[in-house]
Homo-oligomer: A and B are copies of this chain.
Amino acid sequence: IVGIVTVDDAIDILEQEATEDMFNQAGLADVASNEADRSNVLINGNVWQIWKVRLPFLVITLIAGLLAGAVIDEFEQTLESVAAVASVIPLIMDMGGNVGTQSSTVFVRGMSLGHIDLSSFTKYFLKEIWIGLSLGLIVGIISGVAAAFWQGIPMLGVAVGISLVFAMTLAAALGFLVPFVLIKLNIDQAAGSAPIITSIKDIAGLFIYFVSVNALLGHLL
């Protein structure tokens, strides 16, 4: 029998390959192990451990919420004249928030799965801005018509449409840009992206909305 291979030889080779596989996957195993540790603390940890992880992000949200409130505060006179203007605030905030979450999820998942090559970031970023603009135009027109009929103020609908196009395009762009920048700075994007995107899109979205309202509904104020 030429070239006989013993079971021991075969097992040696298989063990060697198994070790190489483990070595190659070490990076991934580290990430998985960190995630498992984090998950375990937040589920089985005591209340102090859980507060330590969750409270800092809520404090960031507090600051962002107060800043977005300051924008509303600036336009107090507008609200006192036409209270209907306030009823569209949740729509502006939620729509930007949802598009931003969609975009950051698409970016992070696409990067993890190798569908996005970070060295051609600009290409994907420009496509996402175009997607955000197109979604903003569709949803902005539908929402604007809905708001105009709901409140019986046509120009309020126009202001809603303008601010949604702006807020949704901005949120889509931030959904790609913020995690990209955090990764480049070596900061945990999973924890940091949402509070940053929320702050910027709320403050900018509400500002554009009130400026549009003041410009278009000036005769009612």
A interface residue numbers (CB < 8 A to B): 5-7, 9-11, 14, 35-36, 38-40, 42-44, 47, 50-51, 54-55, 57-59, 61-62, 64-66, 68-70, 72-73, 76-77, 79-80, 83-84, 86-95, 97-99, 101-102, 106, 109-110, 113, 115-116, 124, 130-131, 134-135, 138-139, 142-143, 146-147, 150, 194-195, 198, 202, 206
- Are A95 and B61 within 8 A (Cβ)? yes
* Majority SS at the chain A contact face: helix
A38: chain B residues within 8 A (beta carbon) = 109
Interchain residue pairs with CB less than 8 A apart (16)? A6-B7, A10-B11, A44-B115, A47-B130, A47-B134, A54-B99, A55-B139, A61-B98, A62-B142, A65-B143, A69-B89, A70-B87, A76-B86, A79-B86, A93-B93, A97-B198
- Are A39 and B110 within 8 A (Cβ)? yes
A97 to chain B, nearest CB (A): 7
CA distance A80 to B86 in the complex (A): 10
CA distance A51 to B137 in the complex (A): 12
A42: chain B residues within 8 A (beta carbon) = 106, 110
A55 to chain B, nearest CB (A): 7
A69: chain B residues within 8 A (beta carbon) = 87-91, 150
Contacting residue for A139 out of B62, B134, B150, CB 8 A = B62
- Are A194 and B116 within 8 A (Cβ)? no
CA distance A43 to B99 in the complex (A): 15
A50: chain B residues within 8 A (beta carbon) = 131
CA distance A62 to B136 in the complex (A): 12
- Are B99 and A72 within 8 A (Cβ)? no
